[in-house]
Amino acid sequence: MEETVGRGLEDVVVAESDICFIDGHEGRLLYRGYNVDDLAREATYEEVAYLLWHGHLPKSAELKAFTEAIGKEAFLPPDVLAFLAGVPAGATPMEVLRTAVSMLSLSDPTSEHVGDQTDRTKALRLLAKTPSIVAAFDRLRNHQKPVMPRPDFGLAKNFLYMLHGEPPVDEDAHILDVCLILHADHEFNASTFAARVTAGTLSDMYSAITSAIGTLKGPLHGGANEQVMRMLLEIGAEDKVESWIKDALANKKKISGFGHRVYRTEDPRARHLRAFSEEIGTRRGDLKYFRMTQKVEQTVFAEKGIYLNVDLYSGSVYYQMGIAIDLFTPIFAIARTAGWTTHVMEQLAHNRLIRPRAQYVGPERELWVPIEKR
Ligand code: ACO
């Protein structure tokens, strides 16, 4: 056996895939060959989900039918609603989402079918219902009734509507839609890999997405966007940013929203989010969080030469939309459901069990000691 250890599987290529391409040196991201900048400018999230699943852009009638199908699937089964209503106080939205997504298999009679056309139906079900789960849970924990989805709204607009109980302004709906596009897929990131490992055992789609959500939750991955906002609130003011960051770095702390395993330059998604953070701040007449984030970006780069990642500006974008901080990572999960489900289907189409090896470094000749002599 080859005896080199790639810590954290850095730069290890584990499969061929035609879904997503990252050029970490040039800062380029493609979904199915389309530049994410073009998709962010031109597409809707539904269009991107269709592109990921089918491998080509939809024609207008296909997109209309697809968007309507998602809208019709946004309703939650009674067992999931009952679960959301009975969640113990203090539960975090990511653990609730992870559990509720797992529960969705209970109301799907095809839940155990694997690798057939029902995977597409399950993917659509998951894509449509995750926003409803997150919004309904947030309403219920705030002692408000869940808002029924509006099948005539797109997914992003519907999510904000179900969350706040009134239709969002068009600008916010558009910004969230683009945020979902920017987070829709990212090659073999940790949560996608977790989904593929689960799918590779021929377990079902719901199990794979549950694995992915549990993996996304960590602060080194999707949880970083929440940490960024908590950091901004702790710092409190723009003129305190520099000393706070220098102090944190001197204490060997990692600053959330910076660094990446693949990018060696600016994350191409960050440019869009930076512009959105400024746009929302300008619209609301308060650029405090945009300016603070900019100062954090400048200080970390000046001190360490480390580039920002997707999570740095998404924090202040969602916060300024009036979204609770602990919903930021669930929003990431909503977006990434398009990518996760695509990867599960690709894995199943060319499946081989994913089972790497460890380089054993433990003892080999220990002698058995009876329990009374230990
Ligand atoms: N703040 C300060 N220093 C950092 C940061 C950071 N955010 N990121 C990397 N570094 C430094 C490390 O301390 C290390 O320095 P050293 O060689 O002097 O010890 C060097 O850069 C390399 O860092 P690693 O942690 O080895 O890089 P790795 O590829 O393993 O980790 C990761 C990538 C986890 C994203 C890391 O950069 C990090 O912890 N960032 C903060 C959390 C974050 O924002 N996560 C979101 C990532 S994007 C996403 O998942 C959506």
Å from CA of 219 to ligand 1 middle? 11
In this structure, are residues 55 and 32 in contact, taking their beta carbons and an 8 Å threshold? Answer: yes
Q: Whole-model pTM?
A: 0.96
Indicate if 260 belongs to the active site.
yes
Class of domain 20-219+325-349: mainly alpha
Q: Is residue 246 within 6 Å of ligand 1 at its C-beta?
A: no
DSSP state of 358: -
Helices (H), the chain: 36-42, 45-54, 60-72, 78-85, 93-103, 118-141, 155-164, 170-182, 190-200, 205-216, 224-235, 241-250, 268-284, 288-304, 311-320, 328-349
Å from CA of 298 to ligand 1 middle? 17
Reading across the β-sheet that carries 20-23, which strands appear in turn? 20-23, 28-31, 34-35
- In tens digits, the chain (374 residues) has pLDDT values of 555 778 999 999 999 999 999 999 999 999 999 999 999 999 999 999 999 999 999 999 999 999 999 999 999 999 999 999 999 999 999 999 999 999 999 999 999 999 999 999 999 999 999 999 999 999 999 999 999 999 999 999 999 999 999 999 999 999 999 999 999 999 999 999 999 999 999 999 999 999 999 999 999 999 999 999 999 999 999 999 999 999 999 999 999 999 999 999 999 999 999 999 999 999 999 999 999 999 999 999 999 999 999 999 999 999 999 999 999 999 999 999 999 999 999 999 999 999 999 999 999 999 999 999 99
Domain ranges of the chain: 20-219+325-349, 224-320
Helix, coil or strand: residue 30: strand
Query: Using CA positions, which residue lies closest to atom 13 of ligand 1?
Result: 254
Residue type, 321: M
186, 260, 272, 343: the active-site residue: 260
Q: Which CATH architecture has domain 224-320?
A: Orthogonal Bundle (1.10)
In the block, tokens 């080194």 appear at 220
Indicate if 221 belongs to the active site.
no
In this structure, are residues 31 and 185 in contact, taking their beta carbons and an 8 Å threshold? Answer: yes
Residue 34 forms beta bridges with which residues?
31
Residue type, 62: E
Residue type, 284: R
What is the bridge-based pairing of β-strands 20-23 and 34-35? Answer: unpaired
In this structure, are residues 217 and 94 in contact, taking their beta carbons and an 8 Å threshold? Answer: yes
What sign results for the dihedral spanned by CA atoms 285, 289, 292, 298? negative
108, 185, 204, 311: the active-site residue: 311
Spatial separation of the C-alpha atoms in residues 154 and 159, rounded to whole Å: 9
Å from CA of 228 to ligand 1 middle? 14
Residue (of 140, 92, 162) closest to 327 by Cα position: 92
Residue (of 351, 342, 347) closest to 56 by Cα position: 342
Token pair for residue 193? 């890999």
Q: Is residue 304 within 6 Å of ligand 1 at its C-beta?
A: yes
Q: Is residue 82 within 6 Å of ligand 1 at its C-beta?
A: no
Q: Is residue 288 within 6 Å of ligand 1 at its C-beta?
A: no
Spatial separation of the C-alpha atoms in residues 228 and 300, rounded to whole Å: 13
Å from CA of 207 to ligand 1 middle? 29
Q: Is residue 267 within 6 Å of ligand 1 at its C-beta?
A: no
Q: Distance of CA 66 to CAs 28, 106, 361, Å?
A: 28, 24, 52
What's residue 232's pLDDT?
A: 98
Spatial separation of the C-alpha atoms in residues 262 and 25, rounded to whole Å: 8
What's residue 241's pLDDT?
A: 98
Å from CA of 88 to ligand 1 middle? 34
Residue (of 103, 83, 108, 97) closest to 131 by Cα position: 97
In this structure, are residues 205 and 122 in contact, taking their beta carbons and an 8 Å threshold? Answer: yes
Spatial separation of the C-alpha atoms in residues 140 and 87, rounded to whole Å: 9
Domain 20-219+325-349 and domain 224-320, same fold? Reply is no
Ligand 1 atom closest to the Cα of residue 186 is: 51
Token pair for residue 279? 């746009």
- Angle, CA of 75, 40 and 349, to the nearest 5°: 65
- Angle, CA of 20, 95 and 197, to the nearest 5°: 40
